[in-house]
């Protein structure tokens, strides 16, 4: 932890400020004025850092394979105060956008970060309401999210995968259009590459994709025999077909936010970031504990500064 927190000048500024402010407040403990930065792209009118803060660790939904104790460990570590500190530390290092789904209480927690501490982190949120004919619940949840300060909406990948498997592209279109009707950028999430293929084929008017992307060259990566079954039944999958994903995304003229890029911690950050940006992603989504942020930002800046063989034009 100590090494990671002090991995950059921004990290040192943040932690020194934390010590100075701790006696004065039980809230935010880092200096938002750090000079650490990240390159940015655009999604609609939003300026979005090349790295987004992932929300799973903040909602305690960790992908930890069969290590079930990790869920409780994360919940005990990431208290609301620690989550706010993590978001502030991310801002201090140039990460200006969070991607998160909305289980009960999350939006209220994010609003407290903004109102109590002046946090400027943008939110890209996927509604968890049912996507079904009529779209009443989904529409109501989108309206509530936007009214409460959400900056962009995307269709949850769990929903999109299921809808594509069921041949319900019309419901994906409706979900995308509902968010656009509420005046925010509208995206589609996906684990299954067929979601992107079908959305492009049917000219769904989404502004961005949040699509899983990582190679399989890690010890617990899926083996060829495991990749033969139905997509939803592949054990431990996050990105079933990285090579095919590269080929499909080459022709997609929309912003691509890559997620699950480290395969839940199995791929080191430098390896992961190099792979996804060389092969076409416009942004990476990274779940991080507070003590990982400084080092990961430094790594990403180094990677972006030395890209040589990017295979896709920037779309953001």
Give the span between the Cα atoms of 15 and 111, in whole angstroms: 24
Which ranges constitute the DSSP H helices of the chain?
Answer: 2-5, 9-21, 69-77, 80-92, 106-117, 136-147, 157-165, 169-181, 193-201, 242-249, 269-278, 293-305
User: What's the pLDDT score for residue 92?
Assistant: 93
CB–CB of 228/23 below 8 Å? no
Give the span between the Cα atoms of 266 and 272, in whole angstroms: 10
Contacts of 157 (CB under 8 A, 6+ apart): 126, 189, 190, 191, 195, 210, 211, 212
Give the span between the Cα atoms of 87 and 58, in whole angstroms: 10
Q: Max alpha carbon distance in the chain (Å)?
A: 58
**How far from the centroid of its chain's Cα atoms is residue 188's Cα?**
12
User: What's the pLDDT score for residue 35?
Assistant: 57
Q: Which residues pair with 97 in a beta bridge?
A: 122
The model's pTM:
0.87
Give the span between the Cα atoms of 125 and 58, in whole angstroms: 13
CB–CB of 264/290 below 8 Å? no
In this structure, the number of other CB atoms found within 10 A of the CB of residue 167 comes to 8
Point out the residues of the chain with pLDDT beneath 70. 1-36, 60, 229-237
Helix, coil or strand: residue 80: helix
Give the span between the Cα atoms of 296 and 18, in whole angstroms: 20
104: nearest Cα among 149, 160, 60, 158: 60
CB–CB of 249/37 below 8 Å? no
Q: State both tokens at 53.
A: 């803060």
Q: What is the DSSP string of 12-54?
A: HHHHHHHHHHTTT-SS--S-TT------EEEETTEEEESEEEE
**Residue in the structure block whose two tokens are 């079930």:** 68
Helix, coil or strand: residue 98: strand
Q: What is the DSSP string of 216-279?
A: S-STTPPPGGGGGS-GGGSTT-S-S-HHHHHHHHTT--SEEEEESTTTTTTS-HHHHHHHHHHT
How far CA 29 is from CA of 85, 96, 185, in Å, comes to: 6, 17, 31
For the chain, domains (ranges, CATH) are 2-305 (3.20.20.70)
């Amino acid at each position: 932890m100590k090494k990671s927190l002090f991995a950059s000048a921004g990290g040192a500024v943040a932690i020194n400020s934390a010590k100075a402010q701790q006696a004065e407040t039980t809230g935010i403990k880092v200096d938002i004025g750090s000079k650490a930065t990240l390159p940015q792209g655009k999604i609609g009118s939003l300026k979005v850092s090349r790295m987004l803060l992932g929300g799973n660790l903040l909602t305690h939904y960790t992908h930890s394979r069969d290590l079930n104790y990790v869920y409780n460990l994360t919940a005990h570590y990431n208290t609301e105060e620690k989550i706010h500190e993590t978001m502030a530390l991310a801002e201090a290092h140039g990460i200006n956008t969070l991607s998160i789904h909305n289980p009960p209480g999350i939006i209220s927690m994010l609003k407290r970060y903004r109102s109590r501490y002046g946090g400027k982190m943008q939110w890209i949120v996927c509604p968890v309401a049912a996507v079904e004919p009529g779209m009443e619940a989904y529409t109501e949840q989108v309206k509530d999210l936007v009214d409460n300060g959400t900056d962009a909406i995307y269709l949850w990948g769990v929903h999109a995968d299921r809808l594509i498997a069921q041949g319900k592209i019309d419901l994906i279109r409706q979900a995308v259009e509902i968010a656009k009707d509420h005046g925010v950028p509208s995206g589609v999430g996906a684990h299954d590459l067929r979601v992107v293929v079908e959305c492009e084929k049917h000219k769904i008017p989404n502004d961005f994709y949040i699509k899983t992307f990582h190679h399989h060259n890690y010890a617990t990566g899926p083996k060829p025999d495991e990749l033969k079954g139905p997509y939803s039944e592949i054990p431990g999958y996050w990105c079933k077909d990285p090579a095919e994903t590269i080929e499909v995304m080459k022709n997609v003229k929309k912003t691509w936010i890559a997620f699950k890029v480290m395969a839940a911690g199995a791929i080191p950050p430098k390896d992961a970031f190099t792979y996804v940006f060389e092969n076409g992603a416009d942004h990476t989504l990274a779940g991080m504990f507070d003590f990982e942020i400084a080092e990961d930002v430094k790594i990403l800046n180094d990677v972006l500064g030395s890209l040589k063989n990017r295979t896709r034009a920037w779309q953001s």
